[in-house]
Structure 1
Amino acid sequence: MAEENIYTKDGTTDFRNNPAIRKETGTWKACLYILGNECCERLAYYGINTNLVNYLKFKLNQPSVVAVNNVTNWSGTCYVMPLIRAFLADAYLGRYWTIASFSIIYVIGMTILTMSASLHGLKPTCDEKNVCHPTGLQIAVFFIGLYLIALGTGGIKPCVSSFGADQFDDSDETEKKNKGSFYNWFYFSINIGALVAASCLVWIQTNVGWGWGFGIPALAMAIAVVSFFSGTRLYRNQRPGGSPLTRICQVLVASFRKIRTPVPADKSLLYETADEKSFVIGSRKLDHTKHLSAFMVISGSTYY
């Protein structure tokens, strides 16, 4: 019994894919690396997003309407990508490898973006009136870097907060309470990164130069990657258990196929697993209840 208590009870594993030892993994010692990653990543993202319209207008010489449209398209891509990346994380890669792989893509995108604003031949040339005339190649390189960033942030955004929650075992009351504190610090780190980006970085981009203005966020993202990988030995990892979207679709299809089937009063007649644990490791099986049942009587039949 004492040997069982040294492991977490939520199905998490360590970096070797062995059951996670409670005292050696997770909790705040692992979350510090996750919070550092999130703070630097948000600084990098908002460092690009906040002043991006001005770069498109004054360096790529785009009209205001075109510049704003390009920024909204990019921002929309950043917020749509998490849907796909969350599916990959839940069904195949797991949160750790999703964050790790797309963080590297993120850094590559930031590096290309910085090169497009600082290297001769890649940055737009401007005349004596400070009007820039970018070439097609320069514009293409810039947007390649920009959309690699969208691809990267789409892999990080849906996973970091839940990966931080994985570091706390709900079966332990102390760790369960600390999970709430983690979210407080998580959103604090987001706001710190956004504050620095919206104040210091915007000033640097406007008054010092775009090479430095993009280079500092690129450096911040590199620090975020180093911070994340530094905590590898301490992380608790949930095994991929399949996407909730897939299971929701399966439930909807089964519901429509059996819409005319009456629900038996005896729950033992339902098609449920006999064991108490969920099929997905770390999840809990929901108890049978009628509290959320909706009753419709149509043609003398009762539907739930």
Structure 2
Amino acid sequence: MMKMIPVLLTTFIPAIIIAETHTLFIKQGTTLDASMGPHFKIPPASLGSFITLSMLVSLPIYDRLFVPAIRRYTNNPRGITLLKRMGIGFVMQIIIMVIACLAERKRLSVARENGIFGKGEKVPLTIFILLPQFALMGVADTFVEVAKIEFFYDQAPQGMKSMGSSYFTTSFAVGNFLSSFLLKTVSDVTKRHGHKGGWVLDNLNASHLDYYYALLAGLVFLNFLFFLVVAKFFVYNADISQAKVAVES
């Protein structure tokens, strides 16, 4: 169990990104034009459903197309190792936060062009500008979250599988706590020393959420570098078993 702790540590910052999709991403949507035609408006919170839809589409594609294709070259029944799968998801999260940063910069640009600075004022920009970051999060979850479940279960010793599975939920719990802590810390620090009252205010039209997203992208990138070091030195249980068989034969 101890050897999985470094891997567990690398999942905390990515869990922060997942927490943001249900908080700040949704709050962004409340400031945008949610119209779908003349008579219907999409509830901002329903944007989260695109994560689920994206995941439902990408999971079969991964299992039915990607795994058989890559298995020919890797001779791995899973196509790629679980840590490689997790790493691909981490890279996608970096891309997601860059996209979210650019989308927020566009939103702020349109708001300022139209003189919109007040809380609750709608920016004349479609809510679907946020769709790429939600859809890509579903694809990233296909890699990260599924790999986390399988990894912590498979690599736990026999008789401690449930303990291994608890690492998965621990990742989410710590990620949500760190999300709140980081948001409050950044908000307080930038209010005291930042530009125009802070990066993250209750009024997003007067905030600099794009700076915060850029910070998160940087944190995920640094976490990915740490993950590469951890993955390089991690030895799978299956590898140990195969080595024993080879020695005995």
Say whether the 8 Å CA contact 1:45–1:217 is kept in structure 2: no
How has the CA–CA distance of structure 1 residues 185 and 51 changed in structure 2, closer, same or farther, with 3 Å as cutoff? same
Q: Deviations over 1:196-219 (max 9, x none)?
A: 325653866444432134234323
Contact 1:85 1:154 in 2 (8 A): no
Aligned-residue sequence identity (percent) comes to: 9
Partner SS, residue 93 of structure 1 = coil
Q: Secondary structure at the match of 2:93?
A: helix
- Corresponding residue for residue 94 of structure 1: 81
CA contact (8 A) 1:102 1:152 kept: yes
CA contact (8 A) 2:13 2:175 kept: yes
Q: Which residue of 2 aligns with 1:37?
A: 10
Quick check: 151-160 or 99-108, which moved more? 99-108
Deviations 1:85-143 (A, max 9, x none): 7735664223122212232122112212112223xx57542133434233x7x954x43
From the superposition, tell whether residues 65 and 238 of structure 1 become closer, same or farther in structure 2 (CA, over 3 Å): farther
Structure 1 position 125 matched with structure 2 position 116: no
- Tell me the amino acid that sits aligned with residue 110 of structure 2: T
TM-score scaled by length of structure 2? 0.64
Return the alpha-carbon distance in structure 2 between the equivalents of residues 189 and 105 of structure 1: 18
Query: Take 1:214 and 1:199, find their aligned partners in 2: how far apart are those partners?
Result: 15
Q: CA deviation at 1:46?
A: 0.8
Distance 1:237 1:78 in 2: 30
Query: Structure 1 residue aligned with 2:134, among 127, 141, 146?
Result: 146
Q: For 1:194, give the aligned amino acid.
A: N
The equivalent of 1:105 in structure 2 is: 92
- Give the superposition deviation at 1:163: 1.4
**Within 5 A, what are the aligned runs for 1:60-99?**
60-62=32-34, 65-68=41-44, 70-77=46-53, 79-80=55-56, 83-84=59-60, 87=63, 91-99=78-86
Cα distance change on mapping 1:81 and 1:106 into 2, 3 Å: farther
| Residue of structure 1 equivalent to 2:220 | 221
Larger Rg: 1
Match of 2:192 in 1: none
In structure 2, which of residues 22, 37, 40 is the aligned counterpart of residue 49 of structure 1? 22
- The partner residue of 1:163 within 142, 151, 171 is 151
How far did residue 193 of structure 1 move? Answer: 0.8
Q: Which amino acid aligns with 1:146?
A: F
Task: Specify which structure has the higher proportion of helix.
Answer: 2
The 8 Å contact of residues 115 and 211 in structure 1, kept in 2 or not, is answered as yes
State the partner residue of 2:172.
190
Q: Which amino acid aligns with 1:187?
A: T
User: Measured at CA, do residues 66 and 115 of structure 1 come closer, stay the same or move farther in structure 2, by a change above 3 Å?
Assistant: same
Write the distance in 1 (CA, Å) between the matches of 2:138 and 2:146.
Answer: 13
Partner of 1:28: 2
TM-aligned CA distance change 1:184 to 1:146, over 3 Å:
closer
The corresponding residue for 2:183 is 201
User: SS of 2:146's equivalent?
Assistant: coil
The superposition leaves residues 234-259 of structure 1 with CA deviations (integer Å, 9 ceiling, x where unpaired) of: 323478xxxxxxxxxxxxxxxxxxxx
Structure 1 residue runs of 5 or longer lacking an equivalent are 1-26, 171-175, 240-280, 282-304
How many aligned residue pairs are there?
Answer: 201
Q: Distance in 2 between matches of 1:223 and 1:213?
A: 15
Q: Residue 66 of structure 1: SS of its match in structure 2?
A: coil
